[in-house]
Structure 1
C-alpha cells in the first residue's frame, strides 16, 4: 500500500470547494440511484437484463430478444451503468480523504467514512445481483432500498466530516434532546422499513410475474402512516423543548427543513394512496425518502461538533484553521 499512498500524495491537495463538491456528489449519487431504481421498478424493467453481472448470457449489453422488450432492457441496463457513475464519485471521495490524511495523519475518521462509499457500491452491486437472480423477490428489493438509505446517511456524515475536526463529538444539546434525536432516527428507520413492505405488497414489482408480499396493503399502509405520525410527534416534542430551552440558529434552520420535507413526503404519500399509487408519483416518493434522510442526518450532525477543521491550501503554502459550523 505504500506505493499507492505515494501516488496519492502526488495528487493536488483538494480545496475546500472540491471536498464539498465530492461529498455533495456522493449524496446526490447515492440518493439518485435509488430514484432510478424506482423507475426500473414502475416501468416493469427489473428483469430487462435477466442475468447478472451480464445483461444476457454471453453479453454485457442488451441484445435483440423475443421475450424482452428493447426499451425495458435499456432501462435496466442504464440503471446498472449508473452504478459506475456512483463508483467514480465514491473513488473521488476516497482519494480526497486519503490525500488529506497524508497531510494530516490524525484524520482517520474522514478516511473511514470515505471508504464506506465504494464499499457501499460493491455491496449494492452484490445485492442487486441477488435481486435479479431471485426474480425480484420483494424482500431483496427492500434490502436494496434500505442499503441505499444507509449510504445516503453516511454520505451526509462524510460531507460534515470534510468540514469539521476530529475531536470526540461534543453535543450542543442536553441528554434529553440527544435521546429525542436518537428516537427520531430510529423512527425514521422504522418508517423506511415499513415503506418497503407497502412497496412489496403494491402493484409495482419491477416485472409483471414477480410474486408480491402476501399481506393486506391497507394494513401495511396504516402502519407506515402511523410510523410517520410517531416521527412527527418526536420532532414536535424536540421543537417544543428548543422553544423553551433555546437552540442555535443552525439547529433551527435544519429543524425547519426536516419539517418541510417530512410534511411534503407525507402529503405525497396520501395523494399516492388516494389515487391508487400511480407510477408517475412513485419515483417522487422515493426521492422524498432520500430528502427526509438527508434532512434528518443534517439535523443530527448540527447537534454536535468536533472542533475546528484544519485545511491546507498548497497555493498559499500555509495551514488555515476553519471553524466548523
Structure 2
C-alpha cells in the first residue's frame, strides 16, 4: 500500500544495519565498550546511562538505542510486506528473517558486555551484522523484481566464479575480525585480546585480500568477454573500486599504527565491500514478471438469424 511502501523501508533497513557497524566501531575505538558495564540494564539500578558514567556511557547507550531503530524498521518492513498487493511470500520471509535477527544481535551484544569484551564474542557480533546486511540487501533488491523463475544472465561458469568471489569476501571479513581481535583497540583498556600475533594475522588477511582483488579483476574480464549486461559490469567495477580503496586504507592504517579515524573508515569499508559483493552476485541473474494467463478469446458473434418463411416468388427458369 502507498502509505507503507516496502522498497524505501527495506533500503532504510539496509543503511541502518551498515550504520550499526560504524557505531559499533565508535564504541570500541573510544574505549566505551563497557560504558554500560552490565546488560540488559546500563547499570545495576538503571536501564539508561547516568551522568556519572560520562561520555563513554552515552556512546555505549547510544549504540544500544540504534538496535531499537533497527527493530522498528524491521517491523515496518514485515507489515509492508504483508500488506503488499499482491502479497509475495519471498519478501514476507526475508523481512521476517531480518526482524528475527535483531533480538539475536542484541543478545550477543549483551554477552560481549557480560564477558568483558571477549574478542571472539565481539567478532561474532560483527559477523551477525554482516548476515543481517545480506538479508536486508536481498529484501531491498527483491522489491525490484518480478515473481518468475530466476534467469541467469551469464554462462554458468561465471556464476561459479562469482560464488568463489563471494566466499572469498566472507573469508576477507572473517580474517579482518581476527586481526581486530589481536589489535590494540579492544573497547576497554582492561579487555583481553585473542593472543595471536598481529603482524602474522595481518599478513594472512592481506594475502586473502590480494586473492579477492585478483578474482574481482578476473570476473571483470570474463564479463566483458561474454558481453554480460551493463549492470553486471558496473557492479563488478564498483566492487573493484571499493576493495582497492579499502586496501589502501588498510595498508595506511597498519603502517601508521592504527589511528582511530582510519580504523573507523576501514570498518565502514568492510560493510561496503560486502554490499558490493552482494551487488555483483545479484547482477548475474534476474526474475522476470510472471506471465499473465492468456485471456479467453472473445465469443464469436452469432450468425445472422435465418427464417423458415418460404420465398414469395418461384425462381425464374433459365432461358434455353
Instruction: State the TM-score, normalizing by the size of structure 2.
Output: 0.88
Q: Which residue of structure 2 lines up, in the alignment, with residue 77 of structure 1?
A: 61
Bigger drift between 241-250 and 124-133 goes to: 241-250
**Counterparts of residues 278-297 of structure 1 (less than 5 Å):** 278-297=259-278
Measured in 1, the distance between the counterparts of 2:239 and 2:3 equals 31
1:238-265 CA distance string (max 9 Å, x none): 1121222211111111111111111111
Measured in 2, the distance between the counterparts of 1:227 and 1:175 equals 25
**Counterparts of residues 87-102 of structure 1 (less than 5 Å):** 87-100=71-84
**Counterparts of residues 1-325 of structure 1 (less than 5 Å):** 12-13=1-2, 18-65=5-52, 69-100=53-84, 103-105=85-87, 107-308=88-289
Q: Is the 8 A contact 2:34 2:187 kept in 1?
A: yes
Return closer, same or farther for 1:309/1:287 CA change in 2, 3 Å cut-off.
farther
Task: Compare CA radii of gyration and give the structure with the larger one.
Answer: 2
Return closer, same or farther for 1:41/1:309 CA change in 2, 3 Å cut-off.
farther
Deviation of 1:14 after TM superposition, in Å, equals 5.2
Deviation of 1:227 after TM superposition, in Å, equals 0.8
Q: Is the 8 A contact 2:165 2:212 kept in 1?
A: yes
Deviation of 1:13 after TM superposition, in Å, equals 4.2
- Coordinate RMSD, CA, aligned: 1.5
1:165-196 CA distance string (max 9 Å, x none): 22332211111101111001100001000000
Tell me how many residue pairs correspond in the alignment. 291
User: Which SS does the other structure have where 2:196 is aligned?
Assistant: coil
Measured in 1, the distance between the counterparts of 2:194 and 2:67 equals 27
User: Which SS does the other structure have where 1:156 is aligned?
Assistant: helix
Identify unmatched segments of 5+ residues in structure 2. Answer: 292-320
Shift >2 Å, 4+ stretches: 12-15
Instruction: State the TM-score, normalizing by the size of structure 1.
Output: 0.86
Identify unmatched segments of 5+ residues in structure 1. Answer: 1-11, 311-325
